[in-house]
Amino acid sequence: MLDELPDVDPDEGEVETAELVVDDDVLVKLFALGPGGAFDPHVHDEATNVFHLLEGDLVVTQDGREETVSAPAVVHNAPGVEHGAVNDGDGRALLTASLCPLP
């Protein structure tokens, strides 16, 4: 059982990650994005990817469309949908990303 989140404090433009759950059918990772930190748009063809934004603001892209979301928020990325995110705020953005099923 996970009692608390790992200590993450990324610098400007940086992204720190930690695996929280790795199981046969699901992966849950913690992402901490410093100001300007991003993960490039990418696709999971056979898996659903759900972001749970816990802290901060993110500009999320889905198939070329952008939307700013503020914590707390949930973003559903269906299989085959290109998605990414950037922290354009002044503080860190903290989210988990769940990938299921594992490829």
pLDDT along the chain (103 residues), means of 10: 81 96 94 97 96 97 96 98 97 97 83
Q: What is the pLDDT of residue 1?
A: 55
Q: What is the pLDDT of residue 86?
A: 98
Q: What is the pLDDT of residue 75?
A: 98
- Name which of 45, 44, 38 is nearest 14 in CA terms: 38
Residue spans of the domains in the chain: they are 15-100
Q: What is the pLDDT of residue 40?
A: 93
CATH topology of domain 15-100: Jelly Rolls (2.60.120)
| Greatest alpha-carbon span in the chain | 37
Question: Measured between alpha carbons, how far apart are the two ends of the chain, in Å?
Answer: 24
CA–CA dist 1, 20 (Å, integer): 10
